[in-house]
Structure 1
């Protein structure tokens, strides 16, 4: 597996960090932003329609957003102990580059629930 990369292009619309994903690093996935087959992702579609890089650019609270807080997201959060709202808050507070740097340092795709 290649080394974890630090690049804001690897921050997914929902706040996951593809730059630390094993499939992405092994060339088996193009990442969320570059994946034209990810039309199933409502979060990605919403951000693209609104010309946002991530949900952090939206004025809505992600926990109240029906697109962000859908059942797929809840299952993902449970299985992977992912706190995607915390990822979006981090991006809002510190910016995408700081988030990419932090996730690269942690070698993690997401901020974990405690």
Structure 2
């Protein structure tokens, strides 16, 4: 199996702030990434961002703290965060602070799909 090369691409930032461009499933060609993966239609974060034309939760004006949003801070996300030591809020905060391009470059250079807790 041929792995894709990790490249900085802001279109590979998931709606919830994860970086699909460094995800093992994406790199193995087993996932198209959040924005292209129609099988992710169950994701409330994805649906909300699509309905509001957001690139990610970083664009949301309703919640200054994403953890206040029930779609962002739901049971599935808490389980994911625990298993993968993922801090999606830190990802969203970094996108807000540095912008999408710089965030993609940072995650590419670290070869990480999330900021770790």
Compute the TM-score of the two structures, normalised by the length of structure 2: 0.94
Q: State whether structure 2 residue 12 is matched by structure 1 residue 10.
A: yes
**Superposition RMSD on alpha carbons, in Å?**
0.7
SS at match of 1:37: helix
* Distance (Å, rounded) in 2 between the aligned partners of 1:53 and 1:102: 18
Segments of 4+ in structure 1 off by > 3 A?
A: none
Q: How many equivalent residue pairs? A: 113
Can you give the 5+ residue segments of structure 2 that lack an aligned partner in the other structure?
none
Compute the TM-score of the two structures, normalised by the length of structure 1: 0.97
Per-residue CA deviations over 1:20-55 (Å, capped at 9, x if unaligned) read 011111111111110012111000000000000000
* Distance (Å, rounded) in 2 between the aligned partners of 1:67 and 1:26: 28
Matched with 2:100 is: 96
